[in-house]
Amino acid sequence: MGRKFFGTDGIRGRTNDSVMTAATAMRVGQAAGNYFVRGGHRHRVVIGKDTRLSGYMMESALVAGFTSVGMDVIMTGPLPTPAIALLTREMRADLGVMISASHNLFPDNGIKLFGPDGFKLSDEAESEIEALLDSEPKLASAENIGRARRIEDARGRYIHAIKNSVASDIRFDGLKVVVDCAHGAAYEVAPSAIWELGADVVTLGVDPNGTNINDGVGSTAIEALQAKVVEERADIGLALDGDADRLIVVDENGRKVDGDQIMALIATRMHERDLLKGGGVVATVMSNLGLERYLDTLGLSLERTKVGDRYVLERMRAGGFNVGGEQSGHMILLDHATTGDGSVAALRILSSLVRSTRPASEMLHVFEPVPQLLKNVRYDAGQPLEDHAVQRVIAEVEGELAGKGRLVIRPSGTEPVIRVMAEGDDAGQVERVVDRVCNAVREAA
């Protein structure tokens, strides 16, 4: 059966349009509730959200859905996605739900589901829940309808947990850190955790109003952070996205440091201390060839998956790895979290900076990336990649790059966009082949 609701990262779309409506959210609550109501214990779901205006509507609809099938609901208010994963496991809940569209702007929203172990649901589990969306829910009897309550200490619990990812002898005294929370879910917890560990914290993106999430701030719009770091003469800048599961870093000169360099640094430090598991790092097909070459010099492997942090996580768990992530900033450190956690990754970077005698600009430049170019082509309808002319151009370009670089083409899982990426040692060739593929896709679309 085709998947109408679930994409690469839960359910996502424009609010009050297509699948992302209150009616859908209630049906998801009922279907997921029916799927997880097993055994004779009192069933429980933890629901968190980011700072979008529509979060109130989606939260209420989900509460109605879950309670109608007999699940008790615990609401945390705005918290990062990894915090919901953590609390689901800590509170022995059957299910965790995060209401967020991650790095998208406020008109979009989404629903991410976590199992009782704090890990995102498998494709198979999501498909079974999707099948239940097309059937009448099994409603609880009147006396077994669930109860809902809001807890007030969730932020403190999460701050305590992420601080425990830092060695007890580490303090951030003397560091000046600019923290950009994208007006999103981490607007209180991330600056608080870093400040409690001793840093002088300058904040950006910590004034959510329901409609400004990711708007000109955060990990997908780092210009404001770059300027602030230079203006404040800070040691480093940290940018989270709307639900704080990804991290992009800015050094003291305002230079961007992406997820590949962050993974390289964390893996190197852990390898030096014999703490790296699996013999390498797991990343996606989008990670730079330079990362792969660098890890090889250390005798480590780079395992590649298709795009999506859930697929990185699946490979990590299957292969016994404890470090993985995406170039876009998802950092999965399985010793400390069950999903991408930008705040945990940020604390690890700051810990390395404290231990290092070098500035961030030197410490974070771990390897030399090869020229890489990514362009997006938006389309209105159809299947542009199935067009014969497009397929012919792709085949020709792959032949041209053979032995010199890579071509990666994929449709976005969350919007009608084709992403075209190429990399290789010849920057001019990379630009030419990307433009050639993009033009072919535009013509077909």
Q: Work out whether strand 247-251 and strand 280-284 pair parallel, antiparallel, or are unpaired.
A: unpaired
Whole-Å CA distances, 276 to 112, 256, 266, 272, 378: 29, 26, 9, 8, 40
Angle at 268 between CA 266 and CA 274, to 5 degrees: 105
Strand partners, 12: 110
Report which of 230, 200, 168, 172 is spatially closest to residue 349, judged by C-alpha positions: 172
How large is the C-alpha radius of gyration of the chain? 22
Laid out side by side, the sheet with 247-251 consists of: 200-204, 176-180, 236-240, 247-251, 256-257
Q: How far apart are CA 318 and CA 323, in angstroms?
A: 13
Q: Which of 54, 68, 100, 102 is catalytic?
A: 102
Q: How far apart are CA 235 and CA 255, in angstroms?
A: 12
135 is catalytic: no
Residue 59 has what DSSP assignment? H
Catalytic residue set: 102
